[in-house]
Every structure is written in structure tokens, then in C-alpha cells.
Structure 1
Amino acid sequence: MFKKTLAGMFGLLLSLASCQSPDNAQTEQPAAQEITAAADTTKREPRPKPDYYNFRGVERKRVYICMDATEDTFHQKHDCPELITCKGQFRNLILARAIEDFDRYNCETCSANLAYIFDETYVP
């Protein structure tokens, strides 16, 4: 009985040791993270708050925003390619709040049909 228990413990020890990753793979990861961090710092600055907006009729529409400091757009679709690349948290809120409180513009990919909100010459 003791031999079977000892053999089982030895087999468990070998299986745990074989699952360990080599040390050289761990040393490569920080270099990749440094490159990513350098690429993130080259992002553009957000645009200033919209001077004019008129969202009459769509003010209760729900939109998505990324809570990253460099983002300045709202999205109508949760699977928008630009929204998916967000590194921060997502929020779902009404369009009026996204524009007034978070100073967001429309996404050209998924919200191009709402560009009239910022057009001063548009008459509904």
C-alpha cells in the first residue's frame, strides 16, 4: 500500500514539473510589454468638447463609450472594431450624456449616420 501511495505521489510530482514553462519564455514577455507601452503613448490627444450639437429626437438613444482618457468617440454597436480595441472599461449610456458629460463625438465606423448631430446647418 505504501509503495502505491509513493508511486502515485511521484507521478503527481513529475506531472507538475512537466507543466512548468521554460525560463527563457518568461524573459521575452517584458520586452513585448515595453514595446506595447511605447506604442500606447503615441496615441492622439482627444478633441475638445463639441461646440454645437443638436440631438433632438435621438437624445434617449443608447450608445457605448470607452473610458480611456485618449478616446473621444461614442459607438452605436458594441462590436465596433474601434471599440473592441479599447484598453479601458466600457460604458453604455444615453447619447445626451455621452455628448454633454463625456464630450464625445460620433464614431465614423459605426455611428456615421449620427454625424448630423454636430452639423450647424442641419434642419430636422
Structure 2
Amino acid sequence: MLKNTLAGMVCLLISLAACQSPDNAQTEQTGTQEAGTAAADTVQRQPRPKPEHYSFKGVEKTRVYICMDETEDTFHQKHDCPVLVSCKSTFRNLTLPRAVEAFGRYNCETCSADLAYVFDEDAVQFETGL
């Protein structure tokens, strides 16, 4: 029984890994024009400097994904975001404060547009009383 369960888990992991492959022909066929544009934008764009103003009030424990490519400067709320899937490097899942403070990431306009308020300079100054 244990061998069957273990074998089933191994097969499941292998099939999941195969589904995540960026070289998958099915992924290329079903990719939207937006995904292609987003991937092209991330390759050509230089990373922005680390954010200076941010506030995590209410989202301190929110988990996000980042691509560890040195040209990337965004975080993603969805693991299947077209911009994140086009990443040629490894992924990391970490808290939003760590993504911004330690890795200098901004919100992805495709999957994390609702977190843009984190970088609102006026809101940050209001909170800190500056």
C-alpha cells in the first residue's frame, strides 16, 4: 500500500513538473498575445531602482512570487501569471514585505494591480505623519 501511494505521488510530481515546463508546445499554442507582449517587455526592460516609499499595513503576511532573474523587478500574486511563467530563472515564494524590502520588487500590473496602493507616496506619508 505504501509503495503504491509513494509511486502515485512520484508520478503526480513528475506530471506537475512537466506541466510547468516553458518549452511545452501546448503552452506556446495556447499563449495569448498579452503573454507574449509581457514576456518581451520583461526581457528588454531594465529593473527599476528599489522602491523608496511603501506601506504594508493590512498585507504584512501576504505571500507573493518572484522570479530570481536579475532583470526582473516585479512580484506576482498568482503563480500562473503570464509574466511569471515566462521567467527563465528560478521562482521564490515569500512575504510581500520581504519581496519589496530585500529584493526591491514592485507589483505586477497583470496579476497584482490591486496592490499598487502599497507604493502610494501620499498614503505612506499620511501613515508616518510626515
Which TM-score tier does this pair reach, normalised by the shorter chain?
0.5 to 0.7
| Aligned position for 1:114 | 115
- Which runs of 5 or more residues in structure 2 are unaligned? 1-39
Question: Is 2:109 aligned against 1:83?
Answer: no
- Within 1, Cα distance between the matches of 2:88 and 2:82? 13
Cα-to-partner distance string for 1:65-124 (whole Å, 9 max, x where unaligned): 000010000000000000000000000000010000000000000000000000022368
| Aligned position for 1:104 | 105
* Percent identity between the two aligned chains: 69
- Give the counterpart letter for 1:84 in structure 2: V
Give the count of matched residue pairs.
Answer: 84
- Give the counterpart letter for 1:120 in structure 2: E
- Within 2, Cα distance between the matches of 1:85 and 1:67? 12
TM-score using structure 1 length: 0.64
- Give the counterpart letter for 1:97 in structure 2: R
Structure of greater Rg: 1
- Which runs of 5 or more residues in structure 1 are unaligned? 1-38
Taking only aligned residues, the RMSD between alpha carbons, in angstroms, comes to 1.6
| Aligned position for 1:20 | none
- Give the counterpart letter for 1:62 in structure 2: R
Helix, strand or coil at the partner of 1:71? coil
TM-score using structure 2 length: 0.61
- Give the counterpart letter for 2:54 in structure 1: Y
Helix, strand or coil at the partner of 2:49? coil
| Aligned position for 1:72 | 73
| Aligned position for 2:45 | 44
